[in-house]
Amino acid sequence: MANLRVVDSADFTFLMNGTGLTWGNLSSHLSKLEDAGYVSVEKTYLGKRPYTLLSLSEDGRAAVDAYTNQMHVLLSSFL
């Protein structure tokens, strides 16, 4: 989700390379995030090849922002 937070959208290969996850692991994670309403998935073709474009939903962006804020609060308590 952090990789998707800094872009409007990204394709599956970009996320796979950015996370270091295997195709199967990333697919599994994205399915769960899509079911939770955090990620939007658009499947199409680029030429004759399948092409999957992913983006964070509004709920997904809110969840990442809330997590980031919670981490800042937690870490600032140690300083």
Q: In terms of Cα–Cα distance, which of 35, 31, 40, 43 is closest to 58?
A: 40
Q: What is 2-76's CATH number, 3.40.640.10, 1.10.1370.30, 1.10.357.10, 1.10.10.10?
A: 1.10.10.10
pTM for the model: 0.84
User: For the chain, what are the domain ranges?
Assistant: 2-76
pLDDT of the residue at 79: 77
Of the pLDDT bands very low, low, confident and very high (cuts 50, 70, 90), residue 14 is very high
Q: Is the Cβ–Cβ distance between 38 and 60 less than 8 Å?
A: yes
Residues 21-33 pLDDT 10s = 999 999 999 999 9
Q: What is the pLDDT of residue 19?
A: 93
Mind listing the pLDDT tens digit for each residue in 34-78?
999 999 999 999 999 999 999 999 999 999 999 999 999 999 988
